[in-house]
Amino acid sequence: MFTTGAESLLRQARAGPQPESRPVTAQGGVSGSLVAGLPTPSSLFRELRDEELGRLCARVCALLREEDWGPDAPDALRRLFLIVSATKYNRRLERPCLALLQTTLCSPTCPEQLQLLCAAVLREMSPCDSLSLSCDHIQNTRQLGLVASVLLAQGDQQQVRSLAQRVLKVLESRQPEGPSLRHLLPIVSKVTSLAPDALREEQTRALSKRLGDWLRYASVQQAVAHSSGGFFSTPRARQLGPVTEVDGAVATDFFTVLSTGQRFTEDQWLNVQAFSMLRAWLLDSGPGGSSAPDADDKSELEGSTLSVLSAASTAGHLLPPQQWLREKAFEYCQRLLEQSNRRALKKADSDLQKACLVEAVLVLDVLCQQDPSFLYRTLSCLKPLHTRLRGDPAWVRALLPVAQFFLHHGEAAAVDAEAVYQHLFTRIPAEHFHSPMLAFEFVQFCRDSLPLFGRSLGILRTSFPNLFKFLAWNSPPLTSDFVALLPSLVDAGTAVEMLHLLLDLPCLTAALDLQLRSLQAASERPPWDVSIRAPGCLEALRDSQVQGLFQHLLRAHASGTVERLTPLYRLLQPLAGCARVVQCAEAVPTLLRAFFSAVTQFADGALASQLALLLLERSDSLYQVPGYEAGVHRVLSSQFPALCKLHPPLVVEQAKELLEFVGGPRSGGHVLTSVVWAIGEYLSVSWDRRCTVEQINNFFEALEALLFEVTQSRPSTTLPKCPPQVITVLMTTLTKLASRSQDLIPRVSLLLSKMRTLAQSAATGSTPGEEGVGAIHTRATELLNLLKMPSVAQFVFTPSVEVSEPRYHRDTNTALPLVLRTVSRLVEREAGLLPG
Amino acid sequence: MVHAFLIHTLRATKAEEGLCRVLYSCFFGTENSPNDAQPHGAERDRLLRKEQILAVARQVESMCQLQLQACGRPAVDLQPQSSDDPVHLRESPCGAFRLTAGDPFQEPRTVVWLGVLSLGFALVLNAHENLLLAEGTLRLLARLLLEHLRLLVPTASLLLRADYIEGILTRFLPHGQLLFLNDQFVQGLEKEFSAAWPR
């Protein structure tokens, strides 16, 4: 089934030729004579007509038919590949050409270069209906690999299964000088991932047995080097001695991917392949995997004997193959843990050690899940491992799989598990927030492990200030992950603190930047924006009050307290222009929306009130980043009514604070508009019995003053112009309040008439057609008309709660349709749309 | 397992802003679609794959740009100073991001990317791969491609040398299998490759 994403991609694609289908020319490092000796790229790919393609095909056919494998053939095939691959629309190749490409691919004598090109062209054509390629008679394993790549690109499950059978057959044929099996294992791995049922049970068992052998019993001698000693002498062989460890010492135990030497034998290659595919294989073939072949079959299995090696493991042969493989995998991982402790001579090997350690822990995790009898043996080596890793920052990424292991098996070692999480959530984000890969892995770990945290979820939740450091520093790739993570992070206890921190996120970015600047030696390459210098900031950090705020902002865990960070905003202002800070500021509105949609799921009245006040308070107390305030205000203004809807009495309960807000100094119109609207909507006895006439009058006066202020100050050039929405919402709210306290009706009528006149004169005055003037005029007229019938006005402006029930809209006998008709007549009469 | 590998342009010149071009891409097998009752036809499947790759390339390009901006590194940094300059792959921007199921691939995927001068290299991985290994493999592939295709020499091209890329991929990333190759294994494979493709 195509998902929405795929559908939209296809829609985009069909909308017409996209830039992608244009010729591919590279710039910078890849510019130059890309296609020397050819027409210009654009005419080559975009305007290439069928007959030109036909000519190229004919040339390719001629060369391949004659088996002319000189330099012309690869050249022609490279062009053909480029033409086929450079467009997303189908290029049709003639059948003879397709057939020749397939024949060449299967030819036993054709050079590798040409076969790779043939396979590449066929793969680019796929899925292709007229393919007759078959892998049935190919003996050469390298060639089988190429054919397999074409077949797998077709996406036909039947083909995948028959390919699996063919590969298994070649794998099972044990010829002494047989084909090199190492080309086959990656195909097996791919096939089982694409079609888990492609192998029969006994085949899976047999292969498991052999994988165990390859893992554990690869040769510990280096391969023999064949060097021809001259024209007349016979090739002579030279023994290179035992394989070594990455630190140069002679290998102390069996061969692994961390054993090294000059040359490698075939079974050492297989060892590498086997370990590379091990985890996926265990998962696919183990219990709970798609095939569950772990039967108690203790007989010798077909294909299972590497007879020379098996002498050492007679006892092991009594184990069922899956168990045998797990046993060998366990030994292998233990050896890797030991080997990862060695000091590698080469940088590349030291990187590989880390990747191997991660894989070893992941494999151990799988083993323990499949067979709990491994658990105690594993725990006894993972505890010291964790102690070792936590002391060395170079190994920090290996801590994540260790933590995941404890999450999966924590009940067996609860105390240790707590210590592991504590260390992970306290130290790692604070010290490594600037590593993009670690940040990604850490957040993935949190996301994937959420269901497993259980009673340890508290540690994750209270660590949000630390987790947000990753977000603050790497907002572009992590925003969507945090949107998914937020609902699990937030609870009633942390919501207020989290909202503050979300609003301060760009400030946190700047603080982290400053922290890095203060910590790192000048000689190290800075990961921050070097174009901005902020020496003053570093100086100011010595101030003890600022220090305290700085520490608060950079806290590791939720503190339960809230600090006003205004002095920090001023201090960090020079960093507000950093691209990283701006990027973070751009992510905040999205995160705020995710936060509110999560919080409104569980917030009670008290929390809703608290958040609504916080929202008013913070709307003019933000770190000044270009464009930040406007973005945040848009979200806050949409969330304030949502909170009121969640808990309508909050308007009455927080009347004092709301009055202060509408009477106080204001910056933007968005939040004010939504607050004024909410007052009109929810300041009523129908929402809260505690609402008094006095309260309504107080609000009326405050809003009347506000309306007066914003309309009078309009001609002034020093004040920002008041948006017309604010004026219309103010008029509506005043009218609503008047409808609830009818003594106010004359006052509001007078006010509305004045506004109408004002709007009229503005429309005919010096600024004709000014935006919104018309809207003000219309609104004033409508409201005046409604007020002429106070009882209707009250019904319209303060509808009872039941009005939103469907019954009132379906049943023509209720008063609602009648009222609606009356109201629209009234409202529209003056506008002259309907005859009297 | 790797699902796809791609090479694409990063930061087009001013005149072509917004154009991200895929220079090479390769899928390892196709996504299963067990729920898919009716086959969509070869042409549509192919088109979808091309669009998926382009969607990944665009995301990588913007992630790379954002990361460079955040580090305060100007765009000129991306232009090779001269062909003799060794490229410091360790200092090249790199990162990872997640693709949710259905957008653009059916299954959830992880993308690991590396930006080298004006080229982006990316691996599209299954969701729970060993990212340290994937990152190492991507750096290895980028180094090999840069060296063997001499991508930084102004007259070089990768467009008409697909066989080099294929030759490197079949050895170092066979069928999308990430391999634990120590330095000696890498050297052995590199020798084998150099023998088959003399520079």
pLDDT value at A232 more than 50: no
Is the separation of the CB atoms in A269 and A214 below 8 Å? no
Tens of pLDDT, residue by residue over A97-115, are 999 999 999 988 888 999 9
In this structure, how many other beta carbons lie within 10 angstroms of the beta carbon of residue A825?
13
pLDDT over 60 at B161, yes or no: yes
Maximum Cα–Cα distance for chain A, whole Å? 121
**For chain A, what percent of residues have pLDDT higher than 90?**
43
Chain A: give the shortest CA distance to residue B147, in Å.
13
3-state secondary structure A551-608: HHHCCCCCCCCCCCCHHHHHHHHHHCCCHHHHHHHHHHHHHHHHHHHHHHHHCCHHHH
- Whole-number mean pLDDT of chain B? 84
Mean pLDDT of A531-553: 78
* Residue B7, strand partner residues: B24, B121
Q: Tell me what the mean pLDDT of segment A303-307 comes to.
A: 39
Q: Inter-chain contact A190–B177, Cβ cutoff 8 Å?
A: yes
pLDDT score of B95: 95
Is this complex's ipTM strictly greater than 0.90? Answer: yes
* Minimal C-alpha gap between A436 and chain B (Å): 6
The angle that helices A745-764 and A693-712 make with each other, rounded to 10 degrees, is 20
| pLDDT exceeds 60 at position A45 | no
**Cβ neighbours for A728, distance < 8 A, ≥ 6 positions apart:** A772, A775, A776, A779
Between CA A274 and CA A251 the distance in angstroms is 20
Separation of alpha carbons B75 and B14, rounded Å: 11
Interval A641-653 mean pLDDT: 92
Which DSSP helix (H) or strand (E) runs through B109? strand B109-116
Q: What φ, ψ does residue A115 adopt, rounded to 5°? A: -65, -40
> B12 vs A127: CB contact, 8 Å cut-off?
no
Residue A476 has what pLDDT? 94
One-letter amino acid for residue A497 of the chain: E
Q: What is the largest CA-CA distance in chain B?
A: 55
What's A221's DSSP letter? B
* Cβ separation B118–A257 shorter than 8 A: no
Note the pLDDT of residue A173: 81
Helix axes A464-473, A495-503, angle to 10 degrees: 20
Cβ within 8 Å of B, A 72-101? 74, 77-79, 81-82, 85, 88-90
**What is the percent of chain A with per-residue pLDDT over 70, rounded to a whole number?**
80
For A351, name the nearest residue in chain B, comparing CA atoms only: B136
Maximum mean pLDDT: which of A66-70, A540-544, A563-567, A582-586: A582-586
Q: Sign (positive/negative) of CA torsion A716, A717, A718, A720?
A: positive
Residues 6+ apart with CB under 8 A from A374: A326, A330, A364, A367, A368
pLDDT in tens, A718-760: 445 677 888 899 999 999 999 888 889 899 999 999 888 888 7
Mean pLDDT of all residues belonging to chain A:
82
Question: Is 70 exceeded by the pLDDT of residue B5?
Answer: yes
At residue A488's C-alpha, the angle toward residues A620 and B103, to 5°, is 95
Structural domains in chain B, CATH included, are: 1-194 (3.30.450.60)
**Model-level pTM?**
0.87
Please indicate whether, in this complex, the C-beta atoms of B167 and A12 are within 8 angstroms of each other. Answer: no
Long-range contacts of residues A14-19, Cβ cutoff 8 Å, at least 24 apart = A18/A88, A18/B54, A19/B18, A19/B19, A19/B20, A19/B21
Q: Is residue A498 scored above 80 in pLDDT?
A: yes
Which of these, A213, A187, A250, A184, lies nearest to A332 by C-alpha position? A213
What pLDDT is recorded for position A834? 41
Tally of CB atoms within 10 A around A614: 18
pLDDT at A740: 87
Residue B129 binned pLDDT confidence (cut-offs 50, 70, 90)? very high
- The per-residue pLDDT for range A388-430, each reduced to its tens digit, is 999 898 999 999 999 999 988 877 776 778 888 889 999 999 9
Radius of gyration of chain B (CA): 17
- For residue B26, pLDDT over 70 is answered with yes
CB contact under 8 A, B175 and A187: yes
Q: What is the SS3 assignment for A125-183?
A: HCCCCCCCCCCCCCCCHHHHHHHHHHHHCCCCHHHHHHHHHHHHHHHHCCCCCCCCHHH
pLDDT over threshold 80, residue B6: yes
Q: Is the pLDDT of residue B85 over 80?
A: no
Is residue A521 scored above 70 in pLDDT? no
> Among A259-263, A277-281, A285-289, A691-695, which is the least confidently predicted range?
A285-289
